[in-house]
């Protein structure tokens, strides 16, 4: 076993019985493309790891926050499985330093690119699941995301109760302009109206939501925007 990969596995908290599986998880498609050969890469493991991550996070949020509705759980899950958070996890493990890239990606700062790091992080999770099974993969994921889960628990009372207020605070910290809510449609009979609202900031759409009132639709839109941020 190479010392570099040994250090990585120590940080990850899992030692692979088959180091070739770990190398596959770290191999970007550009490596084979440049050689014009059908070399295996990490895309299949990424597909697997994404599913394992989604299920683990969904089940843990369901267990940890029994009082939250489905919409709020969806928002919290998005914050834990999005590209930015996966990139952060990869950086904390120094995953980029072990990627196997094509020369083009190597020369264009691919080791630090968010999409490549996030995909490789999912592939590593997929590799752990493929080799060691559900229990080991789940425990590893929960250990990696625990700091973020703890932060969510501290933040959740405020943001869950007032997503529009939370969104405005986050956006005004980035600039002077508040978010703008705009009703896109109003459908259904008078006794069962459905409103669709979009929230925009500086001309950019941040999220959409539907509800039985404009207020509810605005709240759903704010939740969607918070998930994206």
Q: What residue has token string 């120094």?
A: 94
Distance, CA of 206 to CA of 192 (rounded, Å):
26
Tally the C-alpha atoms within 13 A of residue 205's C-alpha that lie toward its C-beta: 9
> Looking only at Cα atoms, what is the longest distance across the chain?
69
Distance, CA of 181 to CA of 103 (rounded, Å):
46
Q: Are 195 and 213 in contact (CB under 8 A)?
A: yes
In sequence order, what are the beta bridge partners of 195? 186, 211
Q: Are 193 and 171 in contact (CB under 8 A)?
A: no
Residue 13 phi/psi, 5-degree rounding, is 90, 20
50 noted as active-site residue: yes
205 noted as active-site residue: no
Distance, CA of 29 to CA of 137 (rounded, Å):
24
Q: 41, 46, 50, 196: which one is catalytic? A: 50
Q: 60, 122, 196, 223: which one is catalytic? A: 122
- Which residue numbers are catalytic? 50, 122
């Amino acid at each position: 076993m190479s010392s570099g990969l040994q250090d990585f596995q120590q940080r990850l908290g899992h030692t692979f019985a088959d180091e070739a599986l770990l190398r596959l998880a770290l191999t970007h498609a550009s490596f084979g493309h440049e050689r014009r050969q059908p070399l295996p890469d990490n895309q299949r493991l990424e597909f697997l790891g994404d599913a394992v991550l989604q299920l683990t996070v969904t089940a843990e949020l369901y267990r940890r926050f029994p009082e939250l509705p489905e919409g709020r759980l969806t928002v919290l899950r998005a914050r834990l499985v999005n590209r930015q958070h996966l990139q952060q996890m990869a950086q904390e493990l120094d995953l980029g330093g072990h990627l196997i890239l094509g020369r083009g990606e190597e020369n264009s700062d691919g080791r630090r690119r968010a999409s490549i790091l996030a995909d490789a992080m999912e592939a590593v999770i997929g590799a752990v699941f493929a080799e060691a099974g559900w229990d080991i993969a789940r425990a590893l994921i929960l250990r990696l995301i625990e700091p973020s889960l703890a932060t969510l628990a501290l933040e959740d009372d405020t943001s869950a109760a007032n997503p529009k207020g939370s969104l405005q605070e986050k956006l005004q910290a980035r600039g002077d302009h508040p978010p703008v809510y705009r009703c896109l449609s109003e459908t259904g009979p008078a006794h069962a109206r459905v409103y669709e609202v979009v929230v925009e900031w500086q001309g950019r759409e941040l999220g959409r939501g539907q509800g039985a009132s404009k207020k509810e639709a605005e709240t759903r839109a704010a939740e969607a925007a918070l998930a994206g941020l």
